[in-house]
Amino acid sequence: MLLRIDLVTTPFPTSHVPPVPPRRRKAGARITLTLASLAMIGPFTIDTVFPAFTRIGEEFGSDAVALQQLVAAYLAAFAIMSIFHGPLSDALGRKKVMIGGLTIYLIGMFGCVLAPSMGTLILLRVLQGMSAGAATIVSRVVIRDMFSGSEAQRLMAQVMMIFSVAPAIAPILGGWLLLLGDWRWVFGGVGLYALVVLIATTRLPETLPREGRTPLRVGALLGSLWHVGRSPVMLRIAAASAFGFASQFLFIASASLFVVNLLGLGEQDFWVLFVPLIIGMISGSFIVGRVADLMDRSRLITLGFLGTLASTVVNLVLVSIAPDFTGGLSWSLLLAAIGPMLIAFTVALLFAPIQLEVLDLFPHERGAAASLGTFFGLVLNALLAGLIAPLIAVSLTALAVTSIAFAVLGATLWIWHLLAVRAPRT
């Protein structure tokens, strides 16, 4: 029997300023597309570069471990700065922070086009990571600023559906850009995308008026982070979300090793992994939007975690019965792709609702909550890309077992949270 427990928000004392109520009932197409485009900055920055790894390594004489740092450096910088983007948006307003972050991001992206060495390229990836979170993290807060209840869940699900296209399109786009020239075309192409997103962002409304902002002081910013970060409820939910998502992100972080080394395919064949992933993510997000009025978030998240446990086990079974890969498209490749697709589907069921759970914990400090809620996942993602993926992506079985471990950790933390919330009522 599934646990059905409504999340109780503890009324922490915060600022005297009341939270800003949502001002819209329905999201228009322009706002939905713009918010989704902001969320897509991250996948485009990471996944588009995968097909270019071979050429970057050849030009700079770098091995696979060094190339993985192009992802790890970005994610690590993203994680560290993610702590501050949200509180800054609480003080300065959402729009200023997003536009400023995108401007710095563009400088880093076009700087990569001129990078003379691997070290310079990694440093510019750090700059991208430091600034990209201003768009991706704050855009989630904008959703909750503008909408509440089932409409917020529907919009979050719609954004996730569009966002889900990015991991599938990005490596394919990267492969196409390589047909135009060397690896620098990849960074130039993503830079042009970011420029279009920046222009679209300037047309968004400011969702946090001046009277709803916190003071722009170091003490106030750190105080809001401390207030949010010391909440046991926040820590449990954020950690559960991070481990649950890691069971899927593991395959994205090891994409170049998965496709090229384990499946024996080429730089134009990343669709074998990412197209199934996108199908799973879109399908799961679609269901999240459809059941917004039919099922409470807590139960939906529980279903997502239980489904992720089941799908990771199915993935292990599938890769265990698949024959050795010879580099050609065959039914064995189909078996290798079905598992990640099922995992993506079940993770999508929990991802959008659990983001709203985090934001609703702190209505006065949604920016700080979004930052810290994202921080745990980003740190884990950085470790996956830079350390864990190179170590365990030696076989499909090792990847599958690691995915199960993350699913177990996430589900355990979520069940712990449900039991902790229920305990005071008994």
Q: Are 361 and 369 in contact (CB under 8 A)?
A: yes
Q: Is residue 346 part of a domain?
A: yes
Higher pLDDT, 201 or 148: 201
Q: Are 116 and 205 in contact (CB under 8 A)?
A: no
Q: Tell me: the pLDDT tens digits for 125-168?
A: 999 999 988 888 888 888 878 877 777 778 877 787 777 777 66
Q: Is residue 19 part of a domain?
A: no
Q: Is residue 5 part of a domain?
A: no
Average pLDDT, integer, range 28-53: 84
> CA triplet 98, 187, 102: central angle to 5 degrees?
10
How far apart CA 225 and CA 205 sit, in angstroms, is: 26
Residue 251: give its domain's CATH number.
Answer: 1.20.1250.20
Nearest to 109 by CA among 163, 185, 201: 185
Radius of gyration (Cα) for the chain, nearest Å?
21
Structure tokens at 340: 């990640």
How far apart CA 279 and CA 282 sit, in angstroms, is: 5
Q: Is residue 379 part of a domain?
A: yes
pLDDT band at 12 (very low <50, low <70, confident <90, very high): very low
Structure tokens at 256: 């170049």
Residue appearing with tokens 């897509």: 40
Total of domains in the chain: 1
Average pLDDT, integer, range 110-117: 91
pLDDT band at 323 (very low <50, low <70, confident <90, very high): low
Half-sphere exposure of 374 (CA within 13 A, CB side): 33
| The predicted structure's pLDDT at residue 324 | 58
39-48, 125-134, 262-271 — which one is most confidently predicted on average? 125-134
Residue 257: pLDDT over 90 = no
Distances (CA, A) of 52 to 108, 181, 184, 276, 341: 18, 11, 9, 21, 24
| The predicted structure's pLDDT at residue 168 | 67
How far apart CA 370 and CA 84 sit, in angstroms, is: 10
Work out the number of other CB atoms within 10 angstroms of the CB of residue 17.
11
pTM higher than 0.85: no
Residue 27: pLDDT over 70 = no
Q: Are 340 and 315 in contact (CB under 8 A)?
A: yes
Q: Is residue 15 part of a domain?
A: no
How far apart CA 246 and CA 273 sit, in angstroms, is: 16
| The predicted structure's pLDDT at residue 188 | 92
DSSP string, 188-245: HHHHHHHHHHHHHHTTSPP-S-GGGPPP--HHHHHHHHHHHHT-HHHHHHHHHHHHHH
Q: Whole domain around residue 337: which residue ranges?
A: 29-425
Nearest to 85 by CA among 35, 42, 135, 51: 135
How far apart CA 139 and CA 372 sit, in angstroms, is: 15
54-58, 63-67, 147-151, 260-264 — which one is most confidently predicted on average? 54-58
Q: Tell me: the pLDDT tens digits for 222-251?
A: 777 777 777 888 888 889 999 999 999 898
Q: Is 186 helix (H, G, I), strand (E, B) or coil?
A: helix
pLDDT band at 25 (very low <50, low <70, confident <90, very high): low
DSSP string, 326-363: -SS--HHHHHHHHHHHHHHHHHHHHHHHHHHHHHHH-T
Q: Is residue 192 part of a domain?
A: yes
Q: Is residue 23 part of a domain?
A: no
pLDDT band at 317 (very low <50, low <70, confident <90, very high): very high
Q: Is residue 3 part of a domain?
A: no
Q: Tell me: the pLDDT tens digits for 290-299?
A: 887 778 888 9
